[in-house]
Amino acid sequence: MSLRLGDQAPNFQAKTSLGEIDFYEYLGKSWGVLFSHPGDYTPVCTTELGKTAALKDEFEKRNVKVIALSVDDIDSHQGWINDINETQDVEVTFPLIGDKDRKISEAYDMIHPNASVNATIRSLFIIDPNKIVKLIISYPASTGRNFQEILRVIDSLQLTAYHSVATPADWKDGEDVVVLPSVKTEDIPSKFPKGFTEVKPYLRMTPQPNK
């Protein structure tokens, strides 16, 4: 059974590079990014974990905790982390889950048999503080993730969780947003005092409300 947007993210207990964790306890009241890798000591994954470590401050200011997973064991993870730190000039401080029995990978539908029967694809889940899955992105093993896009969608998810807006195509933090159709035009001035532009009756734009 695959996870879908709006589903409760499965909790789990796991051994990680930083010791044993309970996933829900690790997240606490933070947002979470859980992402998988086809395997340790692989070139694209090395750059991805290095980029994640380099963006530590960006994740922290968004109240996001990151955690990675592969089907290799913790001993393998520890050696690989040393290589990541050395080659990417970073310090990996977030946990890497060892999922040798693939229980977590299967709970999160990270193994796609037509791609690989024994390795996880590049799955990424963004989970809100209520432990609800808000976004899922899946990449093939050959394609590294765009971490600026991951930060962008976190900004969008956090904005739209607390305001009656949606973000348009190619939106970046600080740009105008779309007023939800559920908001009547006559109610916009009281909800969005910065003003709005009615492009069409169903397309109303307003400055980002939390800026």
Q: Which residues are catalytic?
A: 45
Instruction: Identify which of 56, 67, 57 has the alpha carbon closest to the alpha carbon of residue 28.
Output: 67
Q: Give the amino acid at 191.
A: K
C-alpha distances out from residue 144 to 88, 123, 126, Å: 15, 11, 17
DSSP 132: B
C-alpha distances out from residue 109 to 12, 45, 106, 135, Å: 14, 19, 5, 14
Tokens of 107: 């709970």
